Amino acid sequence: MQTYIKTYGCTLNQADSDIIVGILNDAGIKQSHDEDNVDVIIMNTCTVKGVTERKILEKLSRMDGNGKKVIVTGCMASANPDLITKYAPNASIVTMPNVARIPSILDYIGSGKRYVIDKYDAVDRVAGFRPTGFTIAKIPISDGCLSSCSFCETKFARGRLNSFSEELIINAIKYSIKSGSKEIQIASQDTGAYGLDKGTNIAKLMHKISRINGDFMVRVGMLNPEHLDKYITDMIAAFDDRRFYRFVHLPVQSGSNRILKSMRRNYTVEGFADIVRELRAGIKGLSLETDIIVGFPGETETDLEATINLMNDIKPDVTNISRFAARPHASASRLEQI
């Protein structure tokens, strides 16, 4: 039986797909780069944006109508299994902590049956990590987060923070380097929250990564500003290792304190700007990426102007701009929409 893996969404989702690749390889199940000529398509889904969700559902509907065998995993499988069933009633649903079952599920759906397991249990997925030999290795370090942003549905999909074992993460990185990886991308829903549920933090993990021997580079994934004051000095020091890219993805979302409060972001514009200045002062050649949501419920022209002023002030190297889209399980969806 041949499979094709289609991945949507963030680096954490891509890391999860790499785990699925390792599971399939262990079971001797072949993967193809051509989705038109395979037995089963595995779709690792994203639910963070409405436009992405619509694209996934349209594709699922077409494949279901054409009789394709599909396994849906990822955030949509946890957050909106009923929506998957509505658009693709024959598709199987497997939440990410249960993907180790996929080899046996393939035999099950091969006989024409549908398999559904939509319960999400917190597990240390990196414990099942198998090096793929990819040049870039994406290593998941946690699931969930500590935030409660009013616009986000991913918290509903992945739950509260569950940081994976430092020892297992370090071992996964070592295995990847040994199998030929030259770049390590540490991925999480919020890298900045890593370890805060286990008495550690991302800075301490970075220092442990820096003790690994080898010629490789490390990219640290997105981190929210609200936790940085707990370890920012130690994190800046960790960037002294030349193998860490001088790159920080720090989403601000709005330059208006009134909107940030409505978003439940737990920091101020002034606090964000202070963090940026501290990072730039401590990390020579820093490349800064941020995210902006435009059209959040209640946003006025004055709020938008404040965001533009902030961008002109901090001058990020990369800015990801998204139009607000109401997500079903997020509280901002119940506010008056613009």
Residue 22 lies in a domain: yes
Same domain, 79 and 190: no
Same domain, 290 and 160: yes
What pLDDT, on a 0 to 100 scale, did the predictor assign at position 118?
A: 66
Show the beta-strand stretches assigned E in the chain.
2-7, 30-31, 40-45, 69-74, 92-94, 116-117, 136-140, 142-143, 162-163, 183-187, 217-220, 247-249, 287-294, 318-323
What pLDDT, on a 0 to 100 scale, did the predictor assign at position 154?
A: 83
Residue 272 lies in a domain: yes
> Residue 164 is part of a domain; what is its CATH number?
3.80.30.20
Same domain, 189 and 315: yes
Cβ partners under 8 Å of residue 325, min gap 6 = 49, 50, 51
Question: Which segments of the chain have a pLDDT < 50?
Answer: none
Examine the fold and report which residue of 117, 146, 179 is the final residue of a domain before the chain moves on.
Answer: 117
Sheet holding 217-220, edge to edge: 136-140, 183-187, 217-220
Examine the fold and report which residue of 65, 92, 117 is the final residue of a domain before the chain moves on.
Answer: 117
What pLDDT, on a 0 to 100 scale, did the predictor assign at position 107?
A: 87
Examine the fold and report which residue of 51, 82, 117 is the final residue of a domain before the chain moves on.
Answer: 117
Residue 109 lies in a domain: yes
CA neighbor of 19 nearest in space, from 182, 147, 187, 183:
187
DSSP string, 94-135: E-GGGGGGHHHHHHHHHTT---EE-------GGGG------S
Same domain, 177 and 76: no
Distance separating alpha carbons of residues 70 and 85, to the nearest angstrom: 12
Same domain, 84 and 158: no
What pLDDT, on a 0 to 100 scale, did the predictor assign at position 123?
A: 64
What pLDDT, on a 0 to 100 scale, did the predictor assign at position 128?
A: 64
Q: What's the domain range around 212?
A: 127-334
Residue 268 lies in a domain: yes
Distance separating alpha carbons of residues 224 and 186, to the nearest angstrom: 15
Specify the number of domains making up the chain.
2
CA dihedral 259→263→227→229, nearest 10 degrees, is: 10
Residue 296 lies in a domain: yes
Residue 122 lies in a domain: no
Same domain, 60 and 151: no
Same domain, 170 and 211: yes
Distance separating alpha carbons of residues 230 and 234, to the nearest angstrom: 9
Residue 315 lies in a domain: yes
Same domain, 55 and 76: yes
pTM over 0.85: yes
Q: Do the strands 2-7 and 40-45 form a parallel or antiparallel pair, or are they unpaired? A: parallel
> Residue 91 is part of a domain; what is its CATH number?
3.40.50.12160
Same domain, 140 and 262: yes
pLDDT in tens, 88-118: 999 999 988 888 899 999 988 988 889 998 6
Same domain, 182 and 86: no
What pLDDT, on a 0 to 100 scale, did the predictor assign at position 328?
A: 85
Residue 245 lies in a domain: yes
Same domain, 68 and 190: no
